Structure 1
Amino acid sequence: MAVLRLSLAGLVAACTQCIAAVLATFVVLLAARHALIVLAPPDVGAKPKSELDALVPILRCIYLAMAFGIALTYNRVVYFTAARIRLASRLMLPTAPDHATKSLLTQLTLASVGFAVLALRPPPASLIEAVSPECAWAALVTWSGLMSAVVAGFGANAHAARRAL
């Protein structure tokens, strides 16, 4: 229960990012279907496996932009989590109360950046091989969406830790 209080901002941000990613996917698919987005292959002269493959880079960028926006949003949950982090940090080491918070901030920021890099990369080959060829596009999009949710979660907790200083 105590860990939940220290990571509440991240959990809320990750859930919000999952909902936003699903909605963004539907909007981009509708825009592509109604020719509001021109689908071009990523490599000039190369023919994509499907028209949906050309949407993957667009969706990756949209997911990450939303994740950073959600992570940097101020709300009550961030303030609550920051207060809990501040209290826990002061209880851990009363002589240097900000040491644990600074360490947590560094670790959360590095984790968020690392998962942002993973969100921009394709999923592991074993994941793509595990699904049927018709669902490969869904695996690519799901991977980026989940990694962006982790970015939002770690980023929101890092934001709360920064606020706790």
Structure 2
Amino acid sequence: MEKSCKDYAPHPHLLETLFAFKKKVSAIFRDVLGIYEIHHISITQVTSQKKFISLSSTPALEFNLFNSALWRYDRSYDPQWFTLNRHDYWSNLYEPARYDELYYLKQIKHDYASGISLATRLNEQTLIYSLASQKSCPNTLDAFINLHEDFYKIGHYCFNLLEPLFHQCEIWKEK
């Protein structure tokens, strides 16, 4: 996968962005946390310059992922996956060579039994929604796949409220 995403990289201000708007981001994500047993949500925007900007209810997760090279082994950030506007369980998107490390970093460390990534386009933006649950019951696992349209709607709702913050992050590159 590393070859296909070599043109993509975290935004230069990604790590500081994860914590810069924590209060505003938390207030928006708080509206959806708990629905369908969602305990984590993040939105990653893929800019026209092929940079990733993320806002998260669990900023430490994305911080650790992008502060290391592990994001390169998570197909959620592979253009061959996200340009298809698909959705899949996190565990299916981990490269086998780094599966254990990604599973530990994204799931065990934060006590998430399952997670799902959903790629989409909205308002001419490429977005990756990432949601996770601490519940491992069959109903929660089924909801994560069978109710994916609802998860897209939740992501769209949050992105529409967070779009000004993403825009502000884009402007940082010019300074």
Q: TM-score range by the shorter chain?
A: under 0.3
TM-score (norm 2): 0.25
TM-score (norm 1): 0.26
Which structure shows the bigger proportion of residues in strand conformation?
Answer: 2
